[in-house]
Chain A
Amino acid sequence: MTDVTALEAEGNALLAAGHPEQAEQRARRLLASGSMTVTSFHLLALSVRAQGRIEECRDILGQMVERLPGNLTLRFELAETLLMLGDFERGWREYHHRYGMPHTASLERKVQKPRWDGRPIPGKTLLIHDEQGYGDTFQFLRMVSWAKQRSQARVVLQINLDQKGFAQRSAGADALVLRGELPPPFDVHCEMMSLPMAMGLTLSDLPGACPYLSAEPARVKRWRRRLARLPRPLVGLVWAGRPTHLNDAARSVTLDTLAPLGMPGVTFLALQKGPAEAQAATPPPGMRIERLGDEIADFEDTAAILSLTDLLISVDSSPVHLAGALGRPAWVVLPFVPDWRWLLEREDTPWYPSLRLFRQDRRGDWSGVVTRVASALAGVRDERRDPLSDRAPRRGV
């Protein structure tokens, strides 16, 4: 028994240290020895997933969920795997269990009214409330107007203060209330990210009307003045996500990693917020970068800047969703096993037509991705530099 526990701990440590192949070996050894513990299976599933064998991971998790239907952590992981594979039907149903995990259980809102089941409820009031990260809210705000249309209800949207302005300027909600404030009386509710389950969202429903968010005109005006003297093309740059994100180590990079992007004729705007912003003080040689971090007060500033830039280059973080929702061009660099919403293999995303995805070919290796991005960026710069010349070499974006 202690052997099993020790081997499992060793496997988990290997996985955490970025050695999923060895972790998988440990897991397989455990299973061959007859250790049918949840931990052993789980270790196998996660190490297979980290190696990018998503279908295999889905099958293992599927079997475990069959055996332990009350284990909601497994069901949530299965949901993410299904969604990544594009199986929206079962994926959104399993995603419903996101608040059943030990670290999320206390986050669930125990709303004392039923959840909307997607049927028309004319004359009733539907409370839609945001949850989770900023990126999620930008991504799923599009569904508020769809829910309004489908439910024929009066829709009250409860949203965090930082994103309220965007909701105010977009269609859908009849009333807005801030998170933590007392909402008006309502009949049914739905978490923003349960809307896909309630409404049976399929890939072919995406992206819907795009752009569905807009920047505030006054801010755009201000930032136009601020950026006017900078030589174009202007490329927004974000190299790190929120450090508390569970998968941050895989998705975030350092500014130095992006050094190959530095090239004559391109002005980078550091849209980075948080502790990683300090890296902009010492940019890699050859990279012209304008620090804006201190001047960006909120997402309204970011949105205004994105409306004026030629391109955003970013790791998988909320500004990407903002750019996509605004219909602005953005390139996203993604780790080998990305978040479920980027699906697999494809260079585009059904969620946002203006986005282009650059994926790692090998786990942990950013150099290949950055080289491809740099070469694409050079193409953009050259086109821009001589937009009317037929003789200038054209490289595709």
Chain B
Amino acid sequence: MARKPRPGKSPPAPQGVPIAEAIDMAHRHWEAGQAVEAEHLCRRVLEVWPGQPDVLHLLGLIAHAFDQPDVAIDHMRQACAHPQAPADYFSNLGELCRRRNRLDEAEQATRQAVARDASQATFWSNLGIILQEAGKLEGSARCLERAAALDPGTPECQNNLGNTRRLLGRLAEAASHYDKALTLDPHYVDACCNLGNLRAAFGQPDQGLALFRRAIGIAPRMADAYLNAAALEGDRERWVEAFGWLEALRDFAPDHPRLPAARARTLLALGRAEEALAIVDAVLAAGPGDAPALLVRGMALQTLERFDEALDAFAALGGAPGPAAEGGLVNRGALLTELGRLDEARTVFIEARRRFPRSPAAWYGGLELIASDPGDPARLEDLLRDQSPLPHRDRTIWHFTLGKAWMEAGDTERAFEHIHQGNRLKRAAVTYDADATDAWFAEIAHAFPKDLFRLNAPTDPDPSELPVFVIGMPRSGTSLVEQILASHPAVLGAGELRTLQRILEGIVTPGGQPVAFPNLMRTVAPQDLAAIGRLYLDRVSGKAGDARRLIDKMPTNFLYAGLIALILPGARIIHCHRDPLDCCLSNYARLFLEQNLFTYDMTELGRFYRAYERLMAHWRKVLPPGRLLDLRYEDLVEDPEGQSRRLVEFCGLPWDSACLDFHRTARPVATASAVQVRRPIFREGMGRAAASATHLAPLIAALEGGSGR
């Protein structure tokens, strides 16, 4: 943003120097970095010629360089108000506005610039970037093409071409343009960042991160590199790292306009939903309609179980530019599904597919709601082919979608091709250490010897019987068991609570160091155990209302079964299990919204299952009698009434026939099984894996213990 001054037009002179010369000197001082002298001359010119556009423009540039964006915009606006203001003043005003996220004014000003002079590549390039940020992708692509045509051969041009290709979905071409830009100028941080984003989209997060680091190495305060690095880490579920990048950005740019929503999203993933909500509410108070903030607001409200408000927040995204509206619809559909409002959910997903026919999330979310058409799988294959190459995450969702679609169409062969491919992609993008998991599970068993339960025999004569924990592998029938029990008038189904995990994460030494589970068992005293139990009850009893039993069906609480028995002597534990191969296949064929990182590789999944089985066997051996009920999913399917009665009896409640009509119960089910529990029990999930044995060899081997160690 620099420009040579135009010759002055008028002769009045501040202290003997002709105005034209004073303006010229001001510019030359500024070129040489002598801002004080430049500014002094500008002020003197303004004294004799108020509103002189050239000096106002220069003052704008100076204010911008010294990081006073609002002052800069103010000067630049005044400069542009002059009838003879040249094109590049408008372009500079546009760029200043873009950096302040004032996209409307930015677009308006830059359009003025190209209207005055259509031959400048920079103007078109700036306009293209503004339109891109405003979600006007087609217009953006046209502008960037034009910029590239006007000024070929410079690194900026290659970078612009890259941007255009990326907008058009031609990612491989885009990458080659960014590469060229970086060859022309290895210190070109924009190209570095753009290429990093592409690498991330290609499923090469480490390479992407290396490029962001390179950009930051050159320009330590390049905010985009930090935001992109955070997004990349979030995409692979490394939220602590994501948060670290955002904190690093906040350290030097606390007011960055994109920081609050990104931070809130990360805090939400880290389980700090209240803080996340407070942040986005502040953003929305300042500027209602901010799409990223609305999306996070919806997600935070959903986490906080304020479902109606969450639905409103997602619905408010309807009018936002492309990706945000898609996010609003998909999230809304998923929440409606979770709430059991399946008709509404169906409508939303139909709408999502209509407006965003290429959205993999719209297809995936609607799979179990919208009756499939026999032509669907082939149509989806075409869509996938047309969009090749797709960003890594979208491609992953597509493969899981097609796996499911072909499975329903009965083509197991093709279904597994996609399921394997989807899992390979997902596994490449996340970090998981099977050895560490094995070791941790063994450590947990070791920390809970049988003696521990004798030594800590309950002293409370009347412990709370409120909590009922439903545990097991994901996809082992925990949702179904909860739905059956929650249909009982005395029972509240609270869903998958992270309460226990959070309490354990919050335990620190007297010196303030966090204590990892199960290490805390080494130092914990009986009264500490009781205190942890009370903390749990304090946090959940608010939800329970009049209910006599509250179900916490976080499956992975199987890690804490021993601890639960100690901290909550009156709590009941129901363990759901299922044919291992069926259970693992069900996990393997599914793309989870979060965590469950052990399900994307058959060997790792089999090893996880075996470690889980060993831990459960340990609990059966050491837990006091009567605390743990084993329930086989297959038995429940064979004999719903008999097994339901067994469940109700274990919970110490009188039988209620509502439990058999569980699929009519209106309550949120926030899991991957949200749709199944709305249906009467089907047998279709049983024994399917056995029929697919040829596709599951590594899983079978791992389950038999023959592989992976």
Q: Which residues 52-73 in B have Cβ within 8 Å of A in the complex?
A: 62, 65-67
Majority DSSP secondary structure for residues of A touching B: loop
A71 is an interface residue with CB less than 8 A from chain B:
yes
Q: Which residues 324-374 in A have Cβ within 8 Å of B in the complex?
A: none
A183 touches B37 (CB 8 A): no
CB neighbours of A182 from chain B (8 A): 25, 28-29, 32, 34, 37
A389 is an interface residue with CB less than 8 A from chain B:
no
- State the total of A-B contacts with C-beta under 8 angstroms: 76
A180 touches B34 (CB 8 A): yes
Max count, chain B CB within 10 A of own CB: residue among A71, A110, A186: A110
Q: Which residues 109-159 in A have Cβ within 8 Å of B in the complex?
A: 109-113, 127, 129
CB neighbours of B247 from chain A (8 A): 68
A32–B511 alpha-carbon span in the complex (Å): 6
A70 touches B248 (CB 8 A): yes
A70–B244 alpha-carbon span in the complex (Å): 12
A72 touches B221 (CB 8 A): yes
A34 touches B220 (CB 8 A): no
Tell whether A109 pairs with B253 under 8 Å between CB atoms, given A33-B511, A70-B248. no
A68–B2 alpha-carbon span in the complex (Å): 31
CB neighbours of A245 from chain B (8 A): none
A34 touches B508 (CB 8 A): yes
A68–B243 alpha-carbon span in the complex (Å): 12
B226 touches A70 (CB 8 A): yes
A189 is an interface residue with CB less than 8 A from chain B:
yes
A71–B66 alpha-carbon span in the complex (Å): 17
Tell whether A33 pairs with B248 under 8 Å between CB atoms, given A70-B220, A70-B221, A111-B33. no
Determine which of B216, B253, B512 lies in contact with A34 in the assembled complex, contact meaning CB atoms within 8 Å. Answer: B512
User: Could you tell me the distance in whole angstroms from the C-beta of A25 to the nearest C-beta in chain B?
Assistant: 13
User: Could you tell me the distance in whole angstroms from the C-beta of A99 to the nearest C-beta in chain B?
Assistant: 11
A183–B66 alpha-carbon span in the complex (Å): 22
B251 touches A71 (CB 8 A): yes
B512 touches A180 (CB 8 A): no
A70 touches B34 (CB 8 A): no
Interface size class of A (residues with CB under 8 A): 20 to 34
Determine which of A72, A106, A111, A112 lies in contact with B66 in the assembled complex, contact meaning CB atoms within 8 Å. Answer: A106
CB neighbours of B685 from chain A (8 A): none
User: Could you tell me the distance in whole angstroms from the C-beta of B694 to the nearest C-beta in chain A?
Assistant: 49
A317–B28 alpha-carbon span in the complex (Å): 35
CB neighbours of B252 from chain A (8 A): 68, 70-72
A34–B509 alpha-carbon span in the complex (Å): 10
A70 touches B251 (CB 8 A): yes
A109 touches B34 (CB 8 A): yes
B32 touches A111 (CB 8 A): yes
B251 touches A110 (CB 8 A): no
Max count, chain B CB within 10 A of own CB: residue among A75, A112, A183: A112
CB neighbours of B221 from chain A (8 A): 70, 72, 100
Closest to A70 in B: B252
A98 is an interface residue with CB less than 8 A from chain B:
no
CB neighbours of B33 from chain A (8 A): 109-112, 129, 189
Closest to A66 in B: B248
User: Could you tell me the distance in whole angstroms from the C-beta of A43 to the nearest C-beta in chain B?
Assistant: 16
B32 touches A67 (CB 8 A): no
Q: Which residues 232-278 in B have Cβ within 8 Å of A in the complex?
A: 244, 247-249, 251-253
A97 is an interface residue with CB less than 8 A from chain B:
yes
Q: Which residues 59-110 in A have Cβ within 8 Å of B in the complex?
A: 67-72, 75, 97, 100, 105-106, 109-110
A230 is an interface residue with CB less than 8 A from chain B:
no
Determine which of B28, B35, B67 lies in contact with A105 in the assembled complex, contact meaning CB atoms within 8 Å. Answer: B67
Q: Which residues 22-61 in A have Cβ within 8 Å of B in the complex?
A: 32-34, 38
A105–B30 alpha-carbon span in the complex (Å): 16
Tell whether A68 pairs with B251 under 8 Å between CB atoms, given A97-B220, A182-B25. yes
User: Could you tell me the distance in whole angstroms from the C-beta of A130 to the nearest C-beta in chain B?
Assistant: 13
A111 touches B67 (CB 8 A): no
CB neighbours of B65 from chain A (8 A): 110
B512 touches A32 (CB 8 A): yes
A71–B514 alpha-carbon span in the complex (Å): 27
B595 is an interface residue with CB less than 8 A from chain A:
no
User: Could you tell me the distance in whole angstroms from the C-beta of B4 to the nearest C-beta in chain A?
Assistant: 11
A255–B66 alpha-carbon span in the complex (Å): 43
Chain A, residues 6-36, CB within 8 Å of chain B (1/0): the string is 0000000000000000000000000011100
User: Could you tell me the distance in whole angstroms from the C-beta of A78 to the nearest C-beta in chain B?
Assistant: 12
CB neighbours of A67 from chain B (8 A): 244, 248
CB neighbours of A129 from chain B (8 A): 33
A34 touches B513 (CB 8 A): yes
Closest to A180 in B: B37
CB neighbours of B28 from chain A (8 A): 182
User: Could you tell me the distance in whole angstroms from the C-beta of A5 to the nearest C-beta in chain B?
Assistant: 16
A212–B251 alpha-carbon span in the complex (Å): 43
B649 is an interface residue with CB less than 8 A from chain A:
no
CB neighbours of A189 from chain B (8 A): 32-33
Determine which of B35, B253, B511, B513 lies in contact with A110 in the assembled complex, contact meaning CB atoms within 8 Å. Answer: B35
Determine which of B30, B32, B67, B220 lies in contact with A69 in the assembled complex, contact meaning CB atoms within 8 Å. Answer: B220
CB neighbours of B34 from chain A (8 A): 109, 180, 182
A127–B67 alpha-carbon span in the complex (Å): 25
Chain B, residues 501-522, CB within 8 Å of chain A (1/0): the string is 0000000100111100000000
CB neighbours of A69 from chain B (8 A): 216-217, 220, 248
Max count, chain A CB within 10 A of own CB: residue among B33, B66, B251: B33
CB neighbours of B31 from chain A (8 A): 111-113
User: Could you tell me the distance in whole angstroms from the C-beta of B287 to the nearest C-beta in chain A?
Assistant: 25
CB neighbours of B2 from chain A (8 A): 112
A186–B217 alpha-carbon span in the complex (Å): 28
CB neighbours of A180 from chain B (8 A): 34, 36-37
A111–B249 alpha-carbon span in the complex (Å): 26
Closest to B25 in A: A182
A67–B252 alpha-carbon span in the complex (Å): 12
A183 touches B248 (CB 8 A): no
Closest to B509 in A: A32
A67–B36 alpha-carbon span in the complex (Å): 35
A75 touches B32 (CB 8 A): no
Chain A, residues 225-254, CB within 8 Å of chain B (1/0): the string is 000000000000000000000000000000
Tell whether A70 pairs with B32 under 8 Å between CB atoms, given A32-B511, A106-B66. no
Closest to A38 in B: B251
A72–B222 alpha-carbon span in the complex (Å): 12
CB neighbours of A32 from chain B (8 A): 511-513
CB neighbours of A105 from chain B (8 A): 66-67
Max count, chain B CB within 10 A of own CB: residue among A70, A105, A186: A70
A360–B251 alpha-carbon span in the complex (Å): 36
A107–B216 alpha-carbon span in the complex (Å): 23
CB neighbours of A33 from chain B (8 A): 511-512
Q: Which residues 16-36 in B have Cβ within 8 Å of A in the complex?
A: 25, 28-36
A186–B28 alpha-carbon span in the complex (Å): 11
Max count, chain B CB within 10 A of own CB: residue among A69, A106, A182, A189: A69
A75–B513 alpha-carbon span in the complex (Å): 28
CB neighbours of A183 from chain B (8 A): 32
B37 touches A112 (CB 8 A): no
CB neighbours of A97 from chain B (8 A): 220
Chain B interfacial positions (CB closer than 8 Å to A): 2, 25, 28-37, 62, 65-67, 216-217, 220-221, 226, 244, 247-249, 251-253, 508, 511-514
List 15 A-B residue pairs with CB atoms under 8 Å apart, sorted by A's residue number: A34-B512, A34-B513, A34-B514, A68-B248, A68-B251, A70-B221, A97-B220, A100-B220, A105-B67, A106-B66, A110-B35, A111-B33, A112-B31, A180-B34, A182-B25
Return the 6 tightest CB-CB contacts between A and B, nearest first. Answer: A109-B33, A33-B512, A111-B33, A70-B252, A110-B65, A34-B512
Q: A32-B512, A70-B248 are in contact. List 20 more A-B contacts (CB 8 A).
A: A34-B508, A34-B514, A67-B244, A68-B247, A69-B220, A70-B221, A70-B249, A71-B251, A71-B252, A72-B221, A72-B252, A100-B220, A100-B221, A109-B34, A109-B35, A110-B30, A112-B30, A182-B25, A182-B28, A183-B32
